[in-house]
């Protein structure tokens, strides 16, 4: 089976490419490398350096493929507030083009990278897939719009689709050619930022007066290797027309102070940090209910925070 991995030179997409190849899938990649890195592309892969917004490039990338894993997109929450039109264009319009070109080539299977940002501030935690969706930023709104678009495509045109709503993805994968890891610029994710913290530029802890045990926000983290395992299980579950949405996390949470402690333990000294005021729009606790993915995909994450931090640290060495 040949899979088109859009965004296949980015953090999660490049990890997917590596694991899919290892399991015998053939791979095509479409990525404009605006955030990704062409040096992650392994030998034996068909790589189209092009944009989701260019229908001819999308059609070329889809040629000969049986299914799509769609990771490409813009994913910085802060940037999405400043540039909502850019986010709508790349994420929503780009996915529209992808679905249209898939239909022209009779490709009916897609696994999409959705996000916990579709839920916004939850009324109930852990969050179920049936929870209300009230995104609090344009990034989350684009992911929700795409989920709706895919549902419509499935009912009108019979595609078989899975949207995977990731919580916080972390960790890294060591490939023969080196580590596949977060190389975002700017880096907005907590674990790499904690590991880069210095006395001169200490990591900020946003809010120490939240209604949690240690006063800092709690988030749910999933290792990127476990995440890709879920993608492959989701891909293998496709066939009948329809659209399923699954949360992917660990089903439990770590506070920001716990992440700093895990990183300090891994590095062998106390990582410098500075307590700072709350950030607007940050919910206190975000934890996924992952029972649907466990039940329907027979998926179970196995890597904990210690492994996520250790792999990220090793990838930075």
Is 221 tagged catalytic? no
Comparing C-alpha atoms, which of 35, 45, 46 is closest to residue 9? Answer: 35
Q: How many CA atoms lie within 13 Å of 135's alpha carbon, on the beta-carbon side?
A: 20
Sign, CA torsion 79/119/121/309: negative
- Cα 271 from Cα 216, distance rounded (Å): 16
Q: Which of 139, 166, 221, 254 is catalytic?
A: 139
Q: For residues 216 and 209, what is the distance between their CA atoms, to the nearest angstrom?
A: 7
Contact residues toward ligand NAD (CB under 6 A) are 7, 9-13, 30-36, 51-53, 71-75, 90, 94, 113, 115, 166, 168-169, 184
What's the burial of 139, exposed, middle or buried (CB within 10 Å: 0-12/13-18/19+)? buried
Minimum distance from residue 31 beta carbon to ligand NAD (Å): 4
For residue 160, the Cα-to-chain-centroid distance in whole angstroms is: 20
Place of tokens 């009779």: 106
DSSP states along 114-158: EEGGGTBS-SSSSBPTTS--B-SSHHHHHHHHHHHHHHHHHHHH-
How far is 40 from 76, CA to CA, in rounded Å? 21
Helices (H), the chain: 11-22, 55-62, 77-82, 84-87, 94-104, 138-157, 190-195, 224-237, 256-267, 291-297, 305-316
- Cα gap 210→193, rounded to integer Å: 21
Residues with catalytic annotation?
139
């Amino acid at each position: 089976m040949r899979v088109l991995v859009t965004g296949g030179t980015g953090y999660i997409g490049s990890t997917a490419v590596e694991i899919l190849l290892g399991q015998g899938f053939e791979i095509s990649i479409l990525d404009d490398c605006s955030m990704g890195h062409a040096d992650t592309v392994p030998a034996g892969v068909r790589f189209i350096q092009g944009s989701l917004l260019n229908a001819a490039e999308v059609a070329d990338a889809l040629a000969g493929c049986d299914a799509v894993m769609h990771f490409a997109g813009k994913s910085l929450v802060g940037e999405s507030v400043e540039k909502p039109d850019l986010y709508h264009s790349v994420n929503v319009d780009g996915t529209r083009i992808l679905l249209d070109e898939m239909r022209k080539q009779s490709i009916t299977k897609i696994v999409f990278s959705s996000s916990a940002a579709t839920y916004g501030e939850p009324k109930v935690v852990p969050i179920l897939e049936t929870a209300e969706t009230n995104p609090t930023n344009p990034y989350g709104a684009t992911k929700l719009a795409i989920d709706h678009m895919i549902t419509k495509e499935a009912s009108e045109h019979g595609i078989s689709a899975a949207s995977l709503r990731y919580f916080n993805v972390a960790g890294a994968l060591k490939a023969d050619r080196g580590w596949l890891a977060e190389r975002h610029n700017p880096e907005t994710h907590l674990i790499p930022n904690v590991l880069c913290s210095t006395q001169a530029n200490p990591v900020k802890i946003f809010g120490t007066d939240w209604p949690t045990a240690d006063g800092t926000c709690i988030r749910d983290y999933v290792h990127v290797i476990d995440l890709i395992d879920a993608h492959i299980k989701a891909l293998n579950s496709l066939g009948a027309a329809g659209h399923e949405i699954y949360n992917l996390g660990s089903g439990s949470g770590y506070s920001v102070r716990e992440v700093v402690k895990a990183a300090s333990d891994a590095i062998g000294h106390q990582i410098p940090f500075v307590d700072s005021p709350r950030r607007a729009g940050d919910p206190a606790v975000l934890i996924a209910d992952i029972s649907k993915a466990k039940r329907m995909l027979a998926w179970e994450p196995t890597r904990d925070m210690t492994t996520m931090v250790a792999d990220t640290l090793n990838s930075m060495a």
